[in-house]
Amino acid sequence: MTELVTDDAEGALAGKPTHVSRTTLSHIMTAADTNLLGTVHGGVIMKLVDDAAGAVAGRHSGGPAVTASMDEMAFLEPVRVGDLVHVKAQINWTGRSSMEVGVRVMAERWNESTPATQVGSAYLVFAAVDAEGKPRPVPPVIAETERDRRRYQEAQIRRTHRLARRRAIMELRARHAAEGLHDA
Ligand SMILES: CC(C)(COP(=O)(O)OP(=O)(O)OC[C@H]1O[C@@H](n2cnc3c(N)ncnc32)[C@H](O)[C@@H]1OP(=O)(O)O)[C@@H](O)C(=O)NCCC(=O)NCCS
């Protein structure tokens, strides 16, 4: 487990640059990974995405982290048996105890030297948790490049939308309950 470093008298966690936790998970697709159409099952890719993002969240936060949400999982191209898939993940944004991890999925033929193409992308939110499963603080991410800074700003937009959507749905449910409306 990575040691958490504090950098001031209040015990605030020291920031960590994006490159420290950036991770790539690679996997060759076999017949066991296919759906009924013969291409790779989306769930197989989602598992790899969650695994790679979880490794990044664990590395950045220096301990256990759980998937709180996975959104905007996009499948851009089908993945085939014999594709070598690379799942590249990095921290985009950090809050108090949550982190957004951005993931890009690339695929190339395992036995050809043609360039890899992007086949998918996703954004996941992880919450760092303590031994009791309660949220714990995470080190702030330090964006190192212009691309990191753009990703941080985009993640903040997604965070604002997630919170607004969640609040609007909770308010709607509370109104329905107050009016005595119940789902069958
Ligand atoms: C995620 C979890 C720890 C949040 O716990 P909680 O008691 O709701 O705690 P909080 O409301 O303080 O949320 C903690 C942080 O996660 C964020 N968060 C919680 N639910 C979220 C969601 N659905 N989407 C995005 N962010 C979320 C909060 O905004 C908060 O962020 P911040 O501290 O950076 O401001 C809890 O819901 C949990 O354990 N879920 C199960 C996770 C799991 O088992 N995943 C694997 C699936 S098999």
What would the pLDDT profile of 69-91 be if each residue is shown by its tens digit?
998 899 999 999 999 999 999 99
| Confidence label for 182 from pLDDT (cuts 50, 70 and 90) | confident
- For the segment 36-65, the average pLDDT, to the nearest whole number, is 97
Do the domain assignments include residue 1? no
Which range of residues forms the domain containing residue 138? 16-143
**Of 60, 66, 92, best ligand 1 pocket probe by most atoms within 8 Å of the beta carbon:** 66
Distance 21 CA to ligand 1 centre (A): 21
Please tell me if the CB atom of residue 95 comes closer than 6 angstroms to any atom of ligand 1: yes
Q: Is the pTM of this model over 0.85?
A: yes
> Tokens 């609007």, residue?
168
Specify the CATH number for the domain of residue 77: 3.10.129.10
Do the domain assignments include residue 74? yes
Do the domain assignments include residue 163? no
Do the domain assignments include residue 149? no
> Tokens 């105890």, residue?
97
Please tell me if the CB atom of residue 129 comes closer than 6 angstroms to any atom of ligand 1: yes
Do the domain assignments include residue 131? yes
Do the domain assignments include residue 159? no
Do the domain assignments include residue 7? no
Q: In the chain, how many domains are there?
A: 1
Question: Are the beta carbons of 29 and 83 closer than 8 angstroms?
Answer: yes
Angstrom distance (rounded) from CA 150 to CA 77: 25
